[in-house]
Amino acid sequence: MKRKIAILVLIFITSFSYGQQDAQFTQYMYNSMSINPAYAGLREKMSIFALHRTQWVGLEGAPVTNNVSIHTPINGGNMGMGVSILNDKIGPSDETDIGLNFSYGIQTSENYRLSFGLKASVNLLNIDFNKLTYLTPDKSFNDGNIDNRFTPNIGAGLYYYSDYSYIGLSVPNLIETSHFDKYKGGGSISYIAKERLHYYLTAGYVFDLTGDIKFKPSFISKLAQGTPLQVDVSGNFMFQEKFVAGLSYRWSAAVSAMVGFQATDSWFIGYGYDLETTRLAHYNSGSHEIFLRYELFNKYDRIVTPRFF
């Protein structure tokens, strides 16, 4: 147990020293608005989404993420709006991000549209230092915990897409904020939590293999100052517009399996499992991610061909 706690504290201190990471998703292709505000309204109907992720099961204090969002087209479909609430817990920290997303799209050709997105958000951070185990008695934070530290932010994104392909570029948080600096004013810089810019690039293409089978390769890359480039590459098959199955590889980190099922015209459920490929695999039994999506149709709409992204 002591070894597990020491590993977790090392991960926690490292992540906050070199740039706090945004929440991680394996099934990002179903949750695009969480990283790119330009996706708001692109489902062409009201879409309600809920996700729960438990990472590194068995490792005490490992990340747990919950995300709820709703977005819809407005103004005849040229614009979109959405609200997202994301809660991310890791070790002694509990962080909630509430975002309002707005998009505006233009037709660039017969088949392609370009969507511009803006995001306004607020972040609430809580850190309970009493949950940390200190290696030496003199290493402690005597200034108290962080309670609901409030910081505003803005983000932006682009999304270029057709019915069968997409590419997106976004920066969900454009303002670097320092949540806590124990030694501020003391002539040194020692940030415990500093929010740095995260740059996201996503892309995918849907191939019609047969009348009943589609294949979609896709990838997401994330870059933040002080952290290695993260790249996820995935391939998903859709069978008879109902069942989805695929695999994903997170570079030098994990392999994942994903399944999804279009239960009704409105309800879609998905599940993903990550298996670590790093030394952390010795201390956890993998990561689980489940989501539900509900889409609200008006009386004139019917689902004909579900968009595969």
DSSP codes of every residue in the chain: -HHHHHHHHHHHHHHHHS-PPPP--S-GGG-GGGT-GGGTTTTSSEEEEEEEEE-STTSTT--EEEEEEEEEEEGGGTEEEEEEEEEEEETTEEEEEEEEEEEEEEE-SSS-EEEEEEEEEEEEEEE-GGGSPPSSTT---TT--EEEEEEEEEEEEEEEE-SSEEEEEEES--S-EEEEETTTTTT---EEEEE--EEEEEEEE-EE-SSSEEEEEEEEEEEETTS--EEEEEEEEEETTTEEEEEEEETTTEEEEEEEEE-SSSEEEEEEEEEE-SGGGGG---EEEEEEEEEE--TT---SS----
Asked if the model's pLDDT at residue 159 lies above 70, the reply is yes
* Top-level class of domain 2-296: mainly beta
Neighbours of 179 (CB within 10 A): 20
Tens digits of residue pLDDT in 261-306: 999 989 999 999 999 999 989 999 999 999 999 998 764 455 445 6
CA 118 – CA 98 distance, rounded (Å): 14
pLDDT of 86 above 90? yes
**Torsions phi, psi for 66 (to 5 deg):** -130, 135
Mean pLDDT of 90-112: 94
pLDDT above 60 (res 15): no
Two tokens, residue 132: 């940390």
Q: Which of 86-100, 136-150, 175-189, 197-211 shows the lowest per-residue confidence on average (mean pLDDT)?
A: 175-189
Query: What gap in Å lies between CA 103 and CA 120, rounded to an integer?
Result: 12
Cα-based torsion angle of the residue sequence 149, 103, 233, 228 in order, rounded to the nearest 10 degrees: -40
**Average pLDDT of 122-136?**
80
On the question of pLDDT at 166 being above 70, the answer is yes
- Both tokens of 208, joined, read 């019609």
The whole-number pLDDT of residue 128 equals 84
Report domain extents, the chain. 2-296
Mean pLDDT, the chain, rounded, equals: 85
Q: Which pLDDT score, from 0 to 100, does residue 7 have?
A: 44
More confidently predicted of 191 and 231: 231
